[in-house]
Amino acid sequence: MRILSGIQPSGSFHIGNYFGMMKKMIEYQEQHELFCFIANLHAMTTVADGELLAKQTLDAATTFLALGLDPEKAIFWVQSDVPEVNLLTWVLSNFTPLGLLERCHSYKDKIARGFSPHTGLFTYPVLMAADILLYQSERVPVGQDQKQHLEVTRDIALKFNGQYGQVFTIPEPEISEEVAVVPGTDGQKMSKSYGNTIEIFAEKSQLQKKVMSIVTDSKSVEEPKDPDSCNVFKLYRLFLSRDEAEALRQRYLQGGVGYGEVKKALAEAIWQYFTPHRERKKALEEDREFVRKILKAGAEKARSVANETMKEVSKRVGIIY
Ligand code: ADP
Ligand code: TRP
Cα separation, 253 vs 53, in Å, equals: 47
> What confidence score (pLDDT) does residue 72 get?
97
Residues 292, 211 within the same domain: no
Give residue 36 CA to ligand 2 midpoint distance, Å.
Answer: 10
> What confidence score (pLDDT) does residue 176 get?
73
Residues 207, 272 within the same domain: yes
Ligand index nearest the alpha carbon of residue 79: 2
Give the DSSP H/E element, type plus range, for residue 133.
helix 119-134
- Of 192, 210, 225, 281, which is the active-site residue? 192
DSSP assignment of 293-319 equals HHHHHHHHHHHHHHHHHHHHHHHHHT-
Quote the domain boundaries for residue 291. Answer: 2-181+287-317
Ligand index nearest the alpha carbon of residue 189: 1
- Of 55, 108, 110, 315, which is the active-site residue? 110
Cα separation, 142 vs 22, in Å, equals: 9
Residues 210, 301 within the same domain: no
CATH code for the domain of 271? 1.10.240.10
Ligand index nearest the alpha carbon of residue 231: 1
> What confidence score (pLDDT) does residue 277 get?
98
> What confidence score (pLDDT) does residue 27 get?
96
Residues of the chain with pLDDT under 70: 177-180, 321
> What confidence score (pLDDT) does residue 179 get?
65
> What confidence score (pLDDT) does residue 116 get?
87
> What confidence score (pLDDT) does residue 139 get?
97
Ligand 2 atom with the shortest distance to the CA of 7: 5
> What confidence score (pLDDT) does residue 143 get?
78
Give the DSSP H/E element, type plus range, for residue 65.
helix 50-66
Residues 35, 13 within the same domain: yes
Assigned domain for 189 exists: no
Atom 18 of ligand 1: nearest residue by CA position: 17
Residues 167, 225 within the same domain: no
DSSP assignment of 237-263 equals GGGS-HHHHHHHHHHHHH----HHHHH
Residues 210, 299 within the same domain: no
Ligand 2 atom with the shortest distance to the CA of 131: 12
Assigned domain for 228 exists: yes
**Annotated catalytic residue 189:** yes
Assigned domain for 41 exists: yes
Give residue 262 CA to ligand 2 midpoint distance, Å.
Answer: 34
> What confidence score (pLDDT) does residue 178 get?
63
Residues 265, 119 within the same domain: no
**Annotated catalytic residue 110:** yes
Structural domain tally of the chain?
A: 2
pLDDT tens per residue across span 98-128: 999 999 999 999 999 898 899 999 999 999 9
Give residue 142 CA to ligand 1 midpoint distance, Å.
Answer: 8
